[in-house]
Structure 1
Amino acid sequence: MPLTLRLGADDLTRCRFAISPLCQTHEALRMLRRPARHGYHRAWLRRMGRTLDGLDLSPLWLFVPRPGGYTPDFLAPPPDEPYPSIDGELARMRATEPALARAEMARSLACTPGLTESAQGRAALDDPAGAVRRLADVTELAWHALLAPDWPRHRAVLEADIAQRSRRAADGGLDDLLTGLHPAVDWAGHTLTLRAYADVPDAQLPDGRGVLLMPSVFVWPDVVSGFARPWQPTVIYPAHGMGRLHTTPAPRPPEALARLLGHQRAAVLTGLTAPASTTELARRHGLAPSTVSAHLTALREAGLLDSRRQGYYVLYARTALGDALADGN
């Protein structure tokens, strides 16, 4: 059955976005449990092959069941600020109350027959505080091995998604934002429905906690939600532009535009199909950040780009005039 979240007036005023490096780490781990769904991330997986061979993730695998199971929410709780650091999130994870950790671990183990009675399962439930410490330590190793080297690029994609959707909300309102999250998400009559769920109870939100919206690079092709107390209800959806993260080469601009602006500057303009930061554009085009910054300044002064600060970055997006030039119109 679908999962439904009925939002009152207070909930609608408390809808917010966030980016969580900890949640992204666990989404990457869950993707590794879905071998048939690697899709856009095959290049990343090939690059991570040797790293995975030398990384012992067995304590985490105990609580990352195959699709359909439950992963404890304390492993990656919804962030309480828009742009938390990985150190802050790991500290929050390590501070999990043992009773809460035990309840969530018991629920997760019960998803796999025999796992609760296994030696590893009994050890975790007998010493939940120790289990939290071990799981946090392994998660920190997974972060540094799997995500940290690429995090600036990942974060740029996630921030660009938030900027694009925020602009959509500004243009079309909250209805337009929520209906465009994912093909499996419906929004009507103050009810947000995730159609991909089975055997999930209907959810009410009577206390005005709102909904946290988090773009993800690794959740594709699904959209997932967590709403068990004490965490804020959360919807994690695939980010715009994630398909180009590892595989898309630098764009080739139209010849006429390259003659007008110069090849590099035209390529920067043409490649801005979604908002991006100077760092992301420098990596994408193989240019020095100072060179990209000079191109962006010139394009912005010509009225072809807008810029806005998002967290630690300034994101650049084409104006209507920039779109017309890039599209050859």
Structure 2
Amino acid sequence: MPSYMHFGEADLLRIRFAISPLWETQDAVRTLKRPARHGYHLPWLRRIRQAAEGLDLTALWLLMPWRGHSPDFLGPPPIGPAASFEEEIAAVRGADPEAAREDLARSLSCTPGAVETPQGRALLDDPGSAVHTLADTMEQAWHALVEPEWPRLRALLEADVAFHTRRLAQGGIEGLFADLHPRLRWADGTLTLATPFDHVRVLDGQGLMLMPSVFCWPDVVTGFEPPWQPTLAYPARGIGALWAGPAGPAPQALAHLLGDRRAAVLLALDEPAGTSTLAQLLDLAPSSVSAHLSVLRDAGLLTSRRAGHQVLYERTPLGIALAVSQPGAP
């Protein structure tokens, strides 16, 4: 059963990307309860185990059915391309209680028996209080689970946006959706997502917000109902190496040519990355990484461009040729 998003001419001009710390927090909470999502995130799960044990997430989990609707007001589409968590959680706290009650009831109905539980009844009996309690819990989850890792996560998400923005510029809509996710198909002005339920959305000039996510893997999430902005969340590129420890030594020949650390920086750039991401990956001081990046760029091995809060570096054709010619290099 598919989900369809029908584009008009105006919608083709209104495809935008955004990053949402609130969405990542919601899906981090969801990931704790879904072992199928754990594979890429085991190092993170080990790090946050103690912090997670100090949280009471039962109300949030009750609103995260295995199949069906999660409240849109609790994890809405991003309010801007680079909104802070504080801005996003303020919008959650401002949700209309009556609209929130309908959203909560729809979500609870997707889990058999959830409406009749004491917690389910309490959410529906006082939706105004429920909005604030759920927002408080989400904020606690942000501080405990996501905020300590946010620089690393944001760098990966911004690199994904930069990559797919280029794909859109170079290959148009077909090029963008060709490799965004295997369950997506673009044809005749319609984006089709293979899902276990039927859903149809005519974008009607609102365009589409595309949102990379670290924690939604392996899922693609859509289906926000009016008046919410049509949004599609998809797994970001590069999550397989997100929690990797320091990289091993560079091949000897490349290290002799560039020096150990500069060679390591060049080899680490399989995907565009910023200074802080490389510093964490290589276990080096950011100032040291920044100096090596400048030298490699001046030598014609890297290019750089600004993306959101950071500068992303990637290999030039010469840098690629040099890196892949090394034994054992990717």
Shift of 1:251: 4.7
Render the CA deviation track for 1:17-63: whole Å, top value 9, x for unaligned.
10000000111111122123311111211222222222111221221
Which amino acid in structure 1 is aligned with residue 17 of structure 2? Answer: F
User: In structure 2, how many angstroms separate the alpha carbons of the residues matched to 1:12 and 1:150?
Assistant: 34
Q: What is the distance in 2 between the residues matched to 1:171 and 1:267?
A: 30
Q: Which amino acid aligns with 1:9?
A: E
Are 2:197 and 1:199 aligned?
yes
Counterpart for residue 187 of structure 2 = 188
- After the TM superposition, which of the residue ranges 230-239 and 13-22 deviates more from structure 2? 230-239
Partner in structure 2 of residue 256 of structure 1 = 253
**Amino acid of the residue matched to residue 13 of structure 1?**
L
The equivalent of 2:283 in structure 1 is 286
Cα contact 2:72–2:224 (8 A) shared by 1: no
Using the alignment, how far apart are the partners of 1:301 and 1:7 within structure 2? Answer: 44
Partner residue, 2:227: 230
What is the rounded CA distance, in whole Å, between the counterparts of 1:308 and 1:141 in structure 2?
Answer: 34
Match of 1:323 in 2: 320
Q: Which runs of 5+ in 1 are unaligned?
A: none
CA distance in 1, matches of 2:135, 2:129: 10
**What amino acid is aligned across from residue 113 of structure 1 in structure 2?**
P
Q: Distance in 1 between matches of 2:215 and 2:62?
A: 20
Give structure 1 regions of 4+ aligned residues with deviation exceeding 6 angstroms.
none
* Structure 2 unaligned blocks of 5 or more: none
Checking the alignment, whether the CA contact within 8 Å between 2:246 and 2:280 is kept in structure 1 is no
Whichever residue aligns with residue 57 of structure 1, its letter is: L
Question: Whole-Å Cα distance in 1 between the matches of residues 186 and 318 of structure 2?
Answer: 33
What RMSD in Å do the two structures reach over aligned CA positions? 1.3
Displacement of 1:159 in angstroms is: 0.6
Deviations 1:79-137 (A, max 9, x none): 12111100000101101111211111010011112221222222211211110000000
Tell me how far apart the structure 2 counterparts of residues 240 and 24 of structure 1 sit (CA, whole Å). Answer: 15
Aligned to 2:44: 44
1:314 maps to which residue? 311
Quote the Cα distance in structure 2 between the aligned partners of 1:284 and 1:328. 22
Contact kept, 8 Å, 1:168 with 1:177, in 2: the verdict is yes
1:177-228 CA-partner distances (Å, limit 9, x unpaired): 1121001111111111111x122232222x2111111111111111111321
CA distance in structure 1 between the partners assigned to 2:185 and 2:246 by the alignment = 34
| Matches of 1:169 and 1:302, distance apart in 2 | 29
TM-score, L = length of structure 1: 0.96
Return closer, same or farther for 1:6/1:96 CA change in 2, 3 Å cut-off. same
- Match for 2:84: what amino acid? S
What pairs with 1:138-157 in structure 2 (closer than 5 Å)? Answer: 138-157=137-156
1:17 match: 17
- Give, as a single letter, the amino acid of the residue that structure 2 aligns with 1:287: L
Query: Within 5 A, what are the aligned runs for 1:144-183?
Result: 144-183=143-182
Identity of aligned residues (%): 56
Distance 1:101 1:61 in 2: 17
Aligned-partner residue type, residue 199 of structure 1: F
